[in-house]
Chains A and B, each alone.
Chain A
Amino acid sequence: MMRRLRKITPFQVALVTSFTALAAFMSLPIIFILNHAFKPQNELFLFPPRFLVQNPTLRNLESLLLHASNATVPFTRYLFNSMIVVVLTLVCVILVSTMAGYVLAKNKFHFKQLVLSLITLSLMFAPETVGIPRYLIISGLGINNTYFGHILPALASPVAVFMLIGFISQIPGEVLEAAKIDGASQVGIFTRIVLPLSMPAVATISIFTFQGVWGDVETSTLFMQEETMRTMAFYVNSLLSGLQNSVAGQNMAAAAALLIFVPNLIIFLLFQRKVLETMVHSGIK
């Protein structure tokens, strides 16, 4: 018998339509940012405002770069700092969280329950409440004005650890035991089996860690007194707040918003398939 297309029910039509509408609505800010960055000055102040750009121009980006090159610290320095910090933080967070996740999910040891409760407890604190202790720790360690000062506060990520504990505990114990019998050490089991199998979860934590670190201004504001150690997010942020009441600066603000947004989008697009896997495959079979 020939295979026929499944019949489409009205319910499916309604479902697809409503989800498409929802997705379109959710993408409005993205479309707006993209368009806004290329609007000429007169369109930026148009009333009623227009959503889409009429005469796209690169003037905004140009004037942003012009403004940046006039600053005491070159724009590229901020960019470089941001990249270094983001990459190092990502690597460190992934390493620390996966290791912690493996140990907590698959090994028995004393005070394990205590450690788990402490991690839960740490989820309860708003970032603002730990600002002062963080400052004391950073200055106590003497790592102000170093990259470590950027990385250390982001290193302990209870959300990431939680996600990995959940993910790793779904790896069947027998697989790890088989590796043990095959002659793998704990490190071998971790690098050869656990880490590759946790990739979907690692992708997920990469996205939110990236977003957090890329957009973070706290470490630059509080722990970095030297302008040369501050990040791009800080630069854009101070630029924007400096331009709040300036009519002429709105074009730069629009371009800066795009610059800060684009890397987030790229990272998400890179990892999204893995993230979906995390959600779809709640178990490893």
Chain B
Amino acid sequence: MGSITFNHVYKHYKGEARPAVNDFHLSIEEGEFLVLVGPSGCGKSTTLRMLAGLEEISEGDLYIDEKYVNYLSPKDRDIAMVFQNYALYPNLSVYENIALGLKLRKTAKHDIELRVNRVAKILEISHLLERKPNQLSGGQKQRVALGRAIAREPQVFLMDEPLSNLDAKLRAQTRAEIIKLQSELKRTTVYVTHDQVEAMTMGTRIVVMKDGVIQQVAPPRALYEQPANLFVAGFIGSPQMNFIQGSVTREDGYFYFVNKRLKLPVPEHHYPNFNRDRNGISFIMGVRPEHVFLKADTGTEEEGWIRCEVEMTEITGADSYVYVRLGEQTVIVRTDPDRFYRKDDKLLVSFSMNKVHFFDEQSGDSVALRGDAK
């Protein structure tokens, strides 16, 4: 129950050359919490709306539960959707809002009452049932919207940025509740967000999209540790991954990543990716702020340590991020907040080379994945 299959799905809009959704091909397993994430205009919401039946599918097939649903109307797909702006019926009370879907499906009256009350209890909105939506706060409205979705007990939940209109504290709280709710109900959930933190914390699997094209589909850890391309590497993680331009050369059987200022040994597990004739081709080395280290400049040359200057420091509380200048490049380094660096301080920086990623500068693809594919 509740599996979803997209078979090469496209969405074309009239008068636009580029499809809004381009060859979306994916299977979602029963009970999975799938998150679609990407910048605005990447086609994630369009994909969700096609799944809901609110947008027509231009090309390709869509199956819910192995049933072909391309032309099925939303009400017959056994789905429920939660919208960003709650979309509660302003003229109906909270009770009626939750009950309407059941009423329209000809559920028995006592059964409706039972279900609404149960859902209200789970979401702690029992005391609000008589109120109208305009008498509720944002957080309460979103709970009612969730309740409306849950009460119907559909096969699939669709959520379109449901937390975006809430303030930061409430967002974190509701996020935790949705995760808990999903794990209890074990229903397939497709969740759309532009917030990578939400995507990382909620999804069992994440789909990163850009310009209508799937960039990578992976569980959160894998997405963070093995980004498929520059876009995913830059989109996931805050602050962003550092990107350093250069090329890879071979000397005496060893590979080095070199540019004007740097010459860094490439870790051995990357060797197979460079063994082909890639000498001199431009690459981008990606390294996350937590894999860069700083220490005081002692004046002596040390293997693997490079001179740099502090540009600025950002203190977030648990960590502080130091922006250092390395030639023309700025590199962000995560450090202990106890350490304090002043602007123009001279320091040494080093990279944890086991953790770096290499991307083909032209295609943007990770060399690791390309090596695997070939």
For residue B243, give the distance in angstroms from its CB to the closest CB of chain A: 38
With A175-B89, A197-B91, A285-B134 already in contact, the answer to whether A182 and B83 are too (CB < 8 A) is no
Q: Is A112 located at the chain interface by the 8 A CB criterion?
A: no
With A180-B54, A182-B101 already in contact, the answer to whether A193 and B89 are too (CB < 8 A) is yes
Q: Is the CB of B81 within 8 A of A197?
A: no
CB neighbours (8 Å) of A183 from chain B are: 75, 101, 104-105
With A175-B90, A285-B134 already in contact, the answer to whether A181 and B74 are too (CB < 8 A) is yes
**How far is B148's CA from A197's CA once the two chains are assembled, in angstroms?**
20
Q: Is A50 located at the chain interface by the 8 A CB criterion?
A: no
For residue A192, give the distance in angstroms from its CB to the closest CB of chain B: 7
With A180-B54, A181-B79 already in contact, the answer to whether A172 and B101 are too (CB < 8 A) is no
Instruction: Name the CB-closest residue of B to A174.
Output: B87
Q: Helix, strand, loop or mixed for chain B's interface? A: loop
Q: Is the CB of B101 within 8 A of A174?
A: no
Q: Is the CB of B75 within 8 A of A184?
A: yes
**How far is B89's CA from A180's CA once the two chains are assembled, in angstroms?**
12
**How far is B134's CA from A284's CA once the two chains are assembled, in angstroms?**
10
Q: Is the CB of A177 within 8 A of B54?
A: yes
**How far is B75's CA from A178's CA once the two chains are assembled, in angstroms?**
10
Q: Is B100 located at the chain interface by the 8 A CB criterion?
A: yes
CB neighbours (8 Å) of A242 from chain B are: none
Q: Is the CB of B88 within 8 A of A175?
A: yes
**How far is B74's CA from A220's CA once the two chains are assembled, in angstroms?**
50
**How far is B83's CA from A197's CA once the two chains are assembled, in angstroms?**
19
Choose among B73, B75, B134 the residue with the greatest number of A CB atoms under 10 Å from its CB. B75
Q: Is the CB of B75 within 8 A of A177?
A: no
For residue B298, give the distance in angstroms from its CB to the closest CB of chain A: 61
**How far is B54's CA from A183's CA once the two chains are assembled, in angstroms?**
13
**How far is B81's CA from A188's CA once the two chains are assembled, in angstroms?**
18
For residue B45, give the distance in angstroms from its CB to the closest CB of chain A: 11
Q: Is A68 located at the chain interface by the 8 A CB criterion?
A: no
Q: Is the CB of A174 within 8 A of B85?
A: yes
Q: Is A154 located at the chain interface by the 8 A CB criterion?
A: no
With A179-B100, A183-B104, A184-B104 already in contact, the answer to whether A172 and B75 are too (CB < 8 A) is no
For residue A48, give the distance in angstroms from its CB to the closest CB of chain B: 55
Q: How many residues of B contact A (CB 8 A)?
A: 25
**How far is B90's CA from A179's CA once the two chains are assembled, in angstroms?**
12
**How far is B104's CA from A193's CA once the two chains are assembled, in angstroms?**
13
CB neighbours (8 Å) of B101 from chain A are: 181-183
For residue A8, give the distance in angstroms from its CB to the closest CB of chain B: 31
CB neighbours (8 Å) of B148 from chain A are: 178, 182
Q: Is the CB of A182 within 8 A of B87?
A: no
Choose among A181, A197, A284 the residue with the greatest number of B CB atoms under 10 Å from its CB. A181
CB neighbours (8 Å) of B159 from chain A are: none
**How far is B152's CA from A174's CA once the two chains are assembled, in angstroms?**
18
CB neighbours (8 Å) of B74 from chain A are: 177, 180-181
**How far is B139's CA from A74's CA once the two chains are assembled, in angstroms?**
64
**How far is B87's CA from A284's CA once the two chains are assembled, in angstroms?**
11
Q: Is the CB of B90 within 8 A of A284?
A: yes
Q: Is A196 located at the chain interface by the 8 A CB criterion?
A: yes
Q: Is B80 located at the chain interface by the 8 A CB criterion?
A: yes
Q: Is the CB of A172 within 8 A of B87?
A: yes
**How far is B100's CA from A175's CA once the two chains are assembled, in angstroms?**
13
Q: Is B146 located at the chain interface by the 8 A CB criterion?
A: no
**How far is B96's CA from A193's CA once the two chains are assembled, in angstroms?**
12
Within 8 A of B (CB), among A174-204: 174-175, 177-184, 188, 192-193, 196-197
Q: Is the CB of B75 within 8 A of A182?
A: yes
**How far is B99's CA from A179's CA once the two chains are assembled, in angstroms?**
12
Q: Is the CB of A181 within 8 A of B75?
A: yes
Binary CB contact string for chain B from 88 to 127 against chain A (1 if under 8 A, 0 otherwise): 1111100000001100110000000000000000000000
CB neighbours (8 Å) of B92 from chain A are: 192
Q: Is B52 located at the chain interface by the 8 A CB criterion?
A: yes
With A172-B85, A174-B85 already in contact, the answer to whether A182 and B100 are too (CB < 8 A) is yes
Instruction: Name the CB-closest residue of B to A173.
Output: B87
List residues of chain A with CB under 8 Å of any chain B CB: 172, 174-175, 177-184, 188, 192-193, 196-197, 284-285
Q: Which 10 pairs across A and B sit closest by C-beta, in order of nearness?
A: A174-B87, A182-B101, A183-B104, A183-B75, A196-B91, A178-B87, A174-B83, A181-B74, A175-B87, A180-B74
Q: List 25 A-B contacts (CB under 8 A).
A: A172-B85, A174-B83, A174-B87, A175-B87, A175-B90, A177-B74, A177-B81, A177-B83, A178-B87, A178-B89, A179-B89, A180-B54, A181-B75, A181-B79, A181-B80, A181-B81, A181-B101, A182-B101, A182-B104, A182-B148, A182-B152, A183-B75, A184-B75, A193-B91, A285-B134
Query: Could you list 10 further interchain pairs (A-B, Cβ under 8 angstroms) beyond the known A175-B89, A183-B75?
Result: A178-B81, A178-B83, A180-B54, A180-B73, A181-B74, A181-B75, A181-B80, A184-B104, A193-B91, A285-B90
